[in-house]
Chains A and B, each alone.
Chain A
Amino acid sequence: MTARDSAGGNASHHAFKAGPNRLLGLIWAGFATVAVLSALIVPAHILVQGVLGPLGLVPSFDRRYDTFSRALSNPLVKLYLLALFVCTFYMLAMRVWYVVRELGVRSKLGVGMAAFGLGAAGAIVAGYLLFTGP
């Protein structure tokens, strides 16, 4: 019998929770995935649709209604664009969640709910516009 046992069993108090935080691990794994996907696919969209297309250097599918609506009517394009918007808003929510707290805001849960809530709202709006549009 140890001194600790004689003192009444497990009397020591530890503030850390035992085991890994699986939810936080899942959130970080999701962030790593969407951040890599965004890093690979977002620059092409901004380059063509945001710079080269408006400058008139290349044609872009969103410069005319007929080509834009034809692309948006394709279910695969809808799914792809929805994934693009979800990646973007998830990445924004995750980064806002951490940066706002690093700037002094204390509420981890409150900031997280606000950031991910807005991100989810953005994804829902994107899904609604994509799947109820042309």
Chain B
Amino acid sequence: MRFRDVSEVRLPEAGPAAGVDGLTGATTARPSTPPKPAAAYPVKQPFTWWTRRRGYLLYMLREFTAVGIAAWMILFLVEIARARHGTGGYQPFGGPLFIAVGVVCLVLALWHSYTFLSLAGLIMRIPLGDRTVSPRLIVSVMYGGLVAVTAVIAALLIWGGA
């Protein structure tokens, strides 16, 4: 779930409105003066607002998964760039540091998969007669898809290197 950007909410201008006077019954009209620009009320919060609650922290961690995934993809892109130099110039990444980075990025990627595929049960409504498909079933199918796709791609990557 994303927070709405409250800073963009503009409130209607204050002032007398057209209507019927409750005491006298007389009709009152809005003044003919041009409306003033609507005022914005920005909400300022500290930079560390996301450390206040565990839910906020997990939200930021979920958003940060995109950085870890992109970082690993950039490393993969560097490998592709190295492959342009031919047999002698190609050197794949390796060593303990690269493996550690891979483990961290894998955890982040799995966290992204878990959080995003879990959302499918909330946002998808599949009609089935008078009812809808159970959210739990939808999430289970998504997780099954993750396992199946992972197995197929991993098999292709391994087969390509054999």
B residues at A contact (CB < 8 Å) = 2-3, 5, 7-8, 10-13, 17-20, 27-30, 32, 35, 38, 42, 44-45, 47, 50, 60, 63-64, 66-67, 69-70, 72-77, 79-81, 83-84, 86-87, 90, 92-95, 98-99, 101-103, 105-106, 109-110, 112-113, 116-117, 120, 145-146, 149-154, 157-158, 160-162
Contacts and interface: CB of A to CB of B under 8 A. Distances in A.
B70 A59 contact: no
Contacts of A92: 66-67, 69-70
Contacts, number: 208
A64 B13 CA distance: 68
Interface residues of A, number: 72
The interface centre, meaning the residue of B8, B11, B29 with most chain A CB atoms within 10 A of its CB, is B29
Given A39-B117, A62-B79, A48 B154 contact: yes
Nearest to A133: B84
Given A68-B90, A133-B83, A47 B66 contact: no
A49 B24 CA distance: 81
A53 B161 contact: yes
11 contacts: A3-B29, A7-B18, A36-B120, A38-B69, A42-B113, A45-B76, A60-B161, A63-B92, A65-B87, A68-B90, A99-B64
